[in-house]
Amino acid sequence: MASILPYQFEPESEEETDEDVQPATQSNVRLEQDVSQWCTCGNCNRMPTESENLCCQEVRQVIRRIQQIPVPPTCMIDHPGFEANCLNPYTLHNIHNIYRRDYGPLRRRTREEQFRHLAYRSFVSWCWGFLGRHVRVVIPSCVVSRIRQEFPDLAGHYVGFRPPLD
């Protein structure tokens, strides 16, 4: 009698693995390189740390989101859903209400600082889905730059990517 092999015809999971969460790290050369040497979308800016010098065209989850529309743009900031999900103040206000319900008050001083934080969270949720409490990913330079352009810090002080404390 043949042995039973349960679940052999179940569809594969679409959940992301740990390797899907973070893009491959680059060597420490991007800080010295001109942005045009690593940016393929044409909208990236130099960031202060090596890990933040990342183009949207290098991140599998972002590329997957870009390719979901009939005529994919060359950069994520040109995706029609980017403005609606990450830059629209009405959407961000709604996200803020949900955040407050789940986590309590958002400890940011200015409206722009709150909206920047919420826009980053919205972008990550839109591209990666739910990651978990202490899981963080680097957001592409072009996306960070566009969000900062929309919600600037008047003093020009930005925190940048911080890895989890754990």
Dump pLDDT digits (tens) for 19-65: 544 444 445 677 777 888 899 999 999 998 888 999 999 999 999 99
From first to last of its 166 residues, what are the pLDDT tens digits of the chain?
A: 555 554 444 444 444 554 544 444 445 677 777 888 899 999 999 998 888 999 999 999 999 999 999 999 999 999 999 999 999 999 999 999 988 888 888 877 888 999 999 999 999 999 998 887 778 899 999 999 999 999 998 877 777 766 666 5
Separation CA 122–CA 119 (nearest Å) = 5
pTM: 0.77
CB 66 within 8 Å of CB 72: yes
Its sign, for the CA torsion 95, 126, 24, 47, is negative
